[in-house]
Amino acid sequence: MTAFATTLFHALIALGSVVIGLFASVGRLTRFALVVLGRIVRPPWYPAQLVEQMLKIGWFSLPVVGLTAVFTGSALAQQIYIGGSRFNAASTVPAVTVIGIVRELGPVLGGLMVAGRVASAMAAELGTMRVTEQIDALTTLRTDPFQYLVGPRIVAAVLVMPLLVLVSNALGVMGGFLLATGRLHFNAAAYLNTTAQYLKWDDISSSMVKAAVFGFFIALMGCYHGYHSSGGAAGVGRATTNAVVSAFILILMANLVITVIVFGS
Amino acid sequence: MTPKIRLRDVHKRFGAKVVLDGVDLDIATGESMVIIGGSGTGKSVMIKCILGLLRPDSGSIQVDGAEVVGLKGRALAAHQARFGMLFQGGALFDSLSVWRNVSFALDGSAADRRAAAVDTLARVGLGADVADLRPSELSGGMQKRVALARAIASKPEILFFDEPTTGLDPIMADVINDLIRTLVTDLKITALTITHDMASVRKIADSVAMLYQGRIVWHGPRDGIDSAGNPFVDQFVHGRAEGPIKMQLKRL
Ligand SMILES: Nc1ncnc2c1ncn2[C@@H]1O[C@H](COP(=O)(O)OP(=O)(O)OP(=O)(O)O)[C@@H](O)[C@H]1O
Ligand SMILES: [Mg+2]
């Protein structure tokens, strides 16, 4: 074989093993998700754990999610104003801002922010419990780690993310409103009126669906990588990174899929 | 009579590293078995295989005559619920207070569970004052005793202790040895203890097994360890550097 053919051959082998590895991890992840879903529906349930996780995920994410939404909403309004639509600004700025925020930026940015905070924390917590044998200890103490640790985290994330995104949407629109009325001299009543006029129920419900799906992926990634971590502190660090990166990717992919399904036709 | 726990030809490896290489062992009901053996010979791996936390590559493990290798889901959970386990590293839940750790597997109202936890803590020489502390606020030896209290609190029928006296002062170690002996004698619990501490062996064992290079190289009653006539056991019991067990050392 020529050197070129050899190189090509090796490249193909490398590519093949990457693809096989990808399918293998998708398979493992799917199995993990199915096991979790199967256990969540069966008692015992742990309401105290659920409430604790809802507080951790929801309440303590409010500042960062809110801040992101306000700043992004303002910046968005400013750009739309600049972006060649000055002639029809009075209706374009509020309309595009509310649609952009509610349909896309509210859920996506909220999801990414929560993923950064929560998926990493879950992976670190479960990962530490794994390497210090606390997860093994649970099973000898008549407790299923899926029901006690993973279930409450996933249910809490799915329940709380829509509420967070609702707040994120409201604050994002408010950010645009403040900038438009404060800096660009829009009429406040007209701005709100147009906003309400362009906002449809479909926008809100698709936003909530996205949020719930993102919440599921965030908690799933945090728990999956934490649960399967190994190799001491370095392993927990790897699990944390992988949880955040994979949650980001899944959120962006799921967002595209839902957007195409809901608004594409 | 079927033994409580029976291992036959159990093999376990991690990658290329063979850890268990054909372990055969019988533990009778109500017996206190002690496993001795050098560091890294696979003692902890062996009890994790019995508990179903690790899956052996081949071989059979039976509890009360029923095969446990390959159990899944609820059957595995039911199997694991029969054991109390003291992990070598304690494995205390660091997000829960001491009493919640100890009473983790108990049912009932919080007040009842707390009272039961305080009782159990007293048995391992800890006062009620530690009940509301976090595990991270305790010394290493205190953590070990909390973990021991957690293992015995739910009164399981089989108890595994992975190095129960490591890190304890000699007096407290003796208290723990007495406790384990009492559990076996009075409550008819079957116990499997891993230890390097010969004082422990003499106090708590009915029988002793020695693990070396993945196999049980000697197995006999406690009083046999001094006259085992087995060079591995002799070297271990007397703690000699010279003998058939070679330490992987570089000479200076
Ligand atoms: N999860 C694992 N992955 C890879 N190797 C492992 C794993 N667990 C244990 N080992 C290896 O198996 C061997 C036996 O470990 P084990 O913990 O059973 O030793 P031990 O007999 O309990 O030693 P010690 O007395 O020091 O506690 C060690 O060489 C260890 O490196
Ligand atoms: Mg060990």
Residue pair A141/A39 in contact (Cβ under 8 Å)? The answer is no
- Provide the 3-class DSSP secondary structure of residue B68: coil
> DSSP assignment, residue A60?
G
Report domain extents, chain B: 5-82+156-238, 96-154
Q: pLDDT below 70 — which residues of chain A?
A: 1, 84-86
Q: Are strands B58-63 and B5-14 parallel, antiparallel or unpaired?
A: antiparallel
Q: Phi then psi for B97, rounded to 5 degrees? A: -70, 165
Question: What is the per-residue pLDDT across A165-211, written as a single tens digit (0 to 9) for each?
Answer: 999 999 999 999 999 999 999 999 999 999 999 999 999 999 999 99
- Provide the 3-class DSSP secondary structure of residue B81: coil
| Confidence at residue A85, expressed as pLDDT on a 0 to 100 scale | 65
CB contact under 8 A, A140 and B93: no
Question: What is the per-residue pLDDT across B29-66, written as a single tens digit (0 to 9) for each?
Answer: 999 999 999 888 999 999 999 999 999 999 999 999 99
Residues β-bridged to residue B25: B7
Residue pair A141/A134 in contact (Cβ under 8 Å)? The answer is no
CB contact under 8 A, A141 and B83: no
Q: pLDDT below 50 — which residues of chain B?
A: none
pTM equals 0.90
Give residue B64's region: left, alpha or beta (phi > 0; psi -120 to 50): left
Q: Phi then psi for B19, rounded to 5 degrees? A: -105, -55
Residues with CB under 6 A from ligand 1: B 14, 19, 37, 39-45, 88
* B92 interaction partners in chain A (CB closer than 8 Å): 134, 137
| Confidence at residue B248, expressed as pLDDT on a 0 to 100 scale | 64
ipTM of the complex: 0.91
| Confidence at residue A219, expressed as pLDDT on a 0 to 100 scale | 98
Residue pair A177/A195 in contact (Cβ under 8 Å)? The answer is yes
Q: Distance of alpha carbon B159 from its chain centroid, rounded?
A: 7
Q: How far is the CA of A182 from the centre of ligand 1 (A)?
A: 66
Give residue A96's region: left, alpha or beta (phi > 0; psi -120 to 50): alpha
Q: Distance of alpha carbon A2 from its chain centroid, rounded?
A: 48
Q: Which of A132, A143, A144 sits opposite B91 (nearest CB)?
A: A132
* Alpha-carbon radius of gyration of chain A: 22
Please measure the distance between the N-terminal and C-terminal CA atoms of chain B and give it in whole angstroms.
Answer: 53
Report domain extents, chain A: 47-260
Q: Among B106, B145, B144, B140, which Cα is nearest to B122's?
A: B145
Please tell me the CATH code under which domain B5-82+156-238 is placed.
Answer: 3.40.50.300
Q: Which residue stretches of A41-133 are H helix?
A: 47-57, 62-82, 89-99, 106-114, 120-131
Q: How far is the CA of B194 from the centre of ligand 2 (A)?
A: 8
